[in-house]
Amino acid sequence: MKLENPHTGTALSLEEWWMPFTANRHFKAAPRLLAKAEGMFYWTPEGREILDATSGLWCVNAGHCRKPIVEAIQRQAATMDYAPPFNVGHPIGFEAATAVAAVAPAGMKRVFFANSGSEAADTAMKMAIAYHRARGEPARRIIVGRERGYHGVNIGGTAAGGIPGNRKAYGPLMAGVDHLRSTHDLARNAFTKGQPAHGAEFADELERIVALHDASNIAAVIVEPMAGSAGVLIPPTGYLEKLRAICDKHGILLIFDEVITGFGRLGAPFAATRFNIKPDIITCAKAINNAAVPMGAVIARNEIHDTIVNGAPDGTIEFLHGYTYSGHPLAAAAVVATQKLFAEEKLFDRARQMEPYFEQAVHSLKGERNVIDIRNMGLVAGIELEPRPGAPARRALDAHIKCFEAGVLVRFTADIIALSPPLIIEKAQIDRVVETIRGVLKTLD
Ligand SMILES: Cc1ncc(COP(=O)(O)O)c(C=O)c1O
């Protein structure tokens, strides 16, 4: 196949880009390329329309190439491309922080910018450790993550994360981490709509971990309120409440990694809002600016900010951390425009209103060949397939490829098909996604 950039006519070589989280040889033998996007759709270089059932990578929540966001980035690029964020500021960076704080839970109005979810996760862990140090408990350095958790790919996030394949090649990475067990319980909870009934007691494991290390050594627990990348694991009813209570009992900070759940995915600004649980720190990225320019953020309880900032002598840098691109003007302009668009179009409410229809549609796949579980909440669903004997993840990869050939982009992790469409999706488009998957499942061995 002759490949070229349809916009420039330049011939493409696939050799040089060593692609991330991709089966490079398999992909390059039969590449799937996207060259244009608008609203709910992508187009391949040959002009074939692909319905986006994954919001890119759980991130384009307002739909693609939305005019107000595009124009805000264009304006900012022409006005001021870059400005340093260390000891110098820029108006659009402050506006972006204010826009994020406006939808953050009460009392969580301090925003630290990074450039990705991975950077947000590592920033949050450093912030938790710095907080305890500032309040006179410097021994609190252990971070507790959870099996099947995903907190990106930097050293801290990989270590606190709990996806074996992501960790096994790299050794311990970061000292002082421990893990809760995953909340996934297929035997008791398969085909649950919304929050599973069983599993709140898995949070009690934190007591065992506290007994092992002693609370005086533990800085924070980091979990995704709804685990996305490991295959859409919805928290059992009462689980997050228990986790919060045990953290409170032992003075441990609770970090919610909301890189996927932030900004409307569950039909509320944050999972914290949807589940009515107040974490101490929230990490976010992706939909913060509709993924139009890389951006991540850590939202802290005001008291965490005040303890670190007010605890240092005047005129000294209080939190020795930050990135060249923290609050980058183009990313910040996209944040302001995106948050305005979310509010104007009430997209978080729209996701909540669409949830019952989406739920009904995805659960209609129960009974199709090889489907062993379906789980959902907000505009997220996971469809778990029985792995092929001796070939884990191949059945879902085949489903992904066949759906792409049939004009629908779905994501897969292991043998789980994950759906997370833009919040602007229409009912007929939900039907098209589900019927495409049904057709593909019927043909898959
Ligand atoms: C919960 C969570 N945390 C962190 C990350 C990492 O984000 P990034 O790929 O922007 O570094 C992701 C990415 O999917 C995520 O889902």
pLDDT tens per residue across all 445 residues of the chain: 678 899 899 999 999 999 999 999 999 999 999 999 999 999 999 999 999 999 999 999 999 999 999 999 999 999 999 999 999 999 999 999 999 999 999 999 999 999 999 999 999 999 999 999 999 999 999 999 999 999 999 999 999 999 999 999 999 899 999 999 999 999 999 999 999 999 999 999 999 999 999 999 999 999 999 999 999 999 999 999 999 999 999 999 999 999 999 999 999 999 999 999 999 999 999 999 999 999 999 999 999 999 999 999 999 999 999 999 999 999 999 999 999 999 999 999 999 999 999 999 999 999 999 999 999 999 999 999 999 999 999 999 999 999 999 999 999 999 999 999 999 999 999 999 999 999 999 999 8
Rg (CA), the chain: 22
d(CA 226, ligand 1 centre) in Å: 13
How many angstroms does the Cα of residue 150 sit away from the middle of ligand 1? 7
Q: How far is the CA of 277 from the centre of ligand 1 (A)?
A: 21
Q: How far apart are CA 222 and CA 201, in angstroms?
A: 18
pLDDT score, position 1 = 60
Q: What are phi and psi of 299, to 5 degrees?
A: -105, 120
- Say what the pLDDT of residue 172 is: 85
Within 8 A by CB and 6+ apart from 98, the residues are none
Q: Which atom of ligand 1 is nearest to the CA of 120?
A: 4
Atom of ligand 1 nearest to the CA of 229: 16
Which amino acid residue places its CA nearest to atom 15 of ligand 1? 259
Which is the closest atom of ligand 1 to the Cα of 286? 10
Ligand 1, atom 8, lies closest to the CA of 117
3-state SS string over the chain? Answer: CCCECCCCCCECCCCCCCCCCCCHHHHHHCCCCCCEEEECEEECCCCCEEEECCHHHHCCCCCECCHHHHHHHHHHHHHCCCCCCCCCCCHHHHHHHHHHHHHCCCCCCEEEEECCHHHHHHHHHHHHHHHHHHCCCCCCCEEEEECCCCCCCCHHHHHHCCCHHHHCCCCCCCCCEEEECCCCCHHHHCCCCCCCCCCHHHHHHHHHHHHHHCHHHEEEEEECCCECCCCCECCCCCHHHHHHHHHHHHCCEEEEECCCCCCCCCCCCCHHHHHCCCCCEEEECHHHHCCCCCCEEEEECHHHHHHHHHCCCCCCCCCCCCCCCCCCHHHHHHHHHHHHHHHHCCHHHHHHHHHHHHHHHHHCCCCCCCEEEEEEECCEEEEEECCECCECCHHHHHHHHHHHHCCEECEEECCEEEECCCCCCCHHHHHHHHHHHHHHHHHCC
Q: What is the 260 CA–ligand 1 centroid distance (Å)?
A: 7
| Per-residue pLDDT at 2 | 74
Tell me how far the alpha carbon of residue 82 lies from the centroid of ligand 1, in angstroms. 25
Distance 156 CA to ligand 1 centre (A): 13
Ligand 1 nearest atom to the CA of residue 152, by list position: 6
Can you tell me which atom of ligand 1 is nearest the CA of 118?
A: 11
Q: 369: CA distance to ligand 1 center in Å?
A: 31
How much distance in Å is there from the Cα of 7 to the middle of ligand 1? 30
Alpha carbon distances (Å) from 312 to 128, 315, 316, 320:
16, 8, 7, 11
- To test the pocket of ligand 1, the residue of 151, 226, 293, 411 to mutate (highest count of ligand atoms within 8 Å of its CB) is 151
pLDDT for res 179: 98
Q: Which of 259, 270, 284 to mutate to test the pocket of ligand 1 (most atoms within 8 A of CB)?
A: 259
Tell me the whole-structure pTM to 2 decimals: 0.98
Q: Which atom of ligand 1 is nearest to the CA of 258?
A: 1
Is 378 within 8 Å of 193 (Cβ atoms)?
no
For residue 437, which phi and psi values (nearest 5 degrees)? -65, -40
Pocket test for ligand 1, best of 122, 154, 260 (most atoms within 8 A of CB): 260
Distance 119 CA to ligand 1 centre (A): 9
Spacing, Cα 124 to ligand 1 middle (Å): 13
Which of 263, 286, 411, when mutated, tests ligand 1's pocket best, judged by the most ligand atoms within 8 Å of its CB? Answer: 286
For ligand 1, residues with CB inside 6 Å are 116-118, 121, 150-152, 224, 228-229, 257, 259-260, 285
Which atom from ligand 1 is nearest to the alpha carbon of 154? 11
Atom of ligand 1 nearest to the CA of 157: 4
**What's the gap between Cα 180 and its chain centre?**
20
